[in-house]
Copies of this chain bind each other. A is one copy, B any other.
Amino acid sequence: MAQSIYTDLASEARELHPDLPGVSEETVQKGDIGVTRIRVETAQAAQALSKPIGRYITLDVPKLSERPLSLFAETSKALAKELQALFAPLDEEATVLLVGLGNRTVTPDALGPRAIDQIYVTRHVAQYLPDAFSAPVRSVCAIAPGVLGVTGLETMEVVRGVVAHVKPSLLLLIDALASRRTARISTTIQLTDTGIQPGSGVGNARAGLGRDTFGIPVIAIGVPMVVYASTISQDTLSILAAEMGFAQKEDTLRALAEKVAEENFGPLIVTPKDIDSIVTDMSRVVADGINMALFGASYEQVRALIA
């Protein structure tokens, strides 16, 4: 299918190009959690997938849609493990800066800012009360810079100055993503060491946010929260084309589908009716996983610290 079909997920882009060379992939299933690790290794593969060279790890946890408490905990633990593998080794004195992308007042876009609220920040304690902790504690700070339409400022313009001043060793971005499958809303988490690309995410940063921009490692954590309504239109066509044996007409159908989608459903998003609860749950799962990874803490320790 055409590149016009947008997805923030490398695993979905990969599904559309299953035989593309320059990509390595492995999937491990452990209980209810599937972990797919994709490496985009060549510039050609990067261009075909519209995803930069780098590592992409996807946690797929379909049963999260049933909202079982214990699976939230398991998912946080799996996220922590993958995250630690992705940023290790990190010096004990290193400072980590978290950035929650998105618009807090638009529910499906609020994942980043609401996860930031639940991160255990320590930088100021270490700075003002150096004796508050008995053992050395990772220095963590966090910011939710808002979106261009509300601030008139690019995310990069806000974060750049903080990076210059705070001099973190690692940047962790959290963002709501757009997926191609409604089933992935709130059941998938993607980690990548490539940062965020221009125009990605629900909030649509214009400037890319990666190692090139800031000169330090940048890890992005994203959860699909919306599917563009046009995707449903396109999916309907694909399914129909397959079922009706219209293979020969697929190009015509696809062109039509894109036209129909753009004219009729362009800027609309599909989101579950209970998106408020979903953002509450998933921002906590993400924040718990990050807190565990950054502080080497257990799930129970993290829940007790933050609640």
Contacts and interface: CB of A to CB of B under 8 A. Distances in A.
Contacts of A272: 267-269
B143 A123 contact: no
B239 A236 contact: no
A23 to B, nearest CB: 27
Given A106-B274, A124-B148, A273-B109, A162 B153 contact: yes
Q: How many copies does the complex hold?
A: 4
A143 B146 contact: yes
Interface residues of A, number: 78
A88 interface: no
A256 interface: yes
Contact of A151 (B68, B142, B150): B142
A158 to B, nearest CB: 6
Contacts of A162: 153, 157-158, 161
Contacts of A151: 116, 121, 141-143
Interface string A262-287: 00110111111111100001000000
A161 B153 CA distance: 12
B239 A264 contact: yes
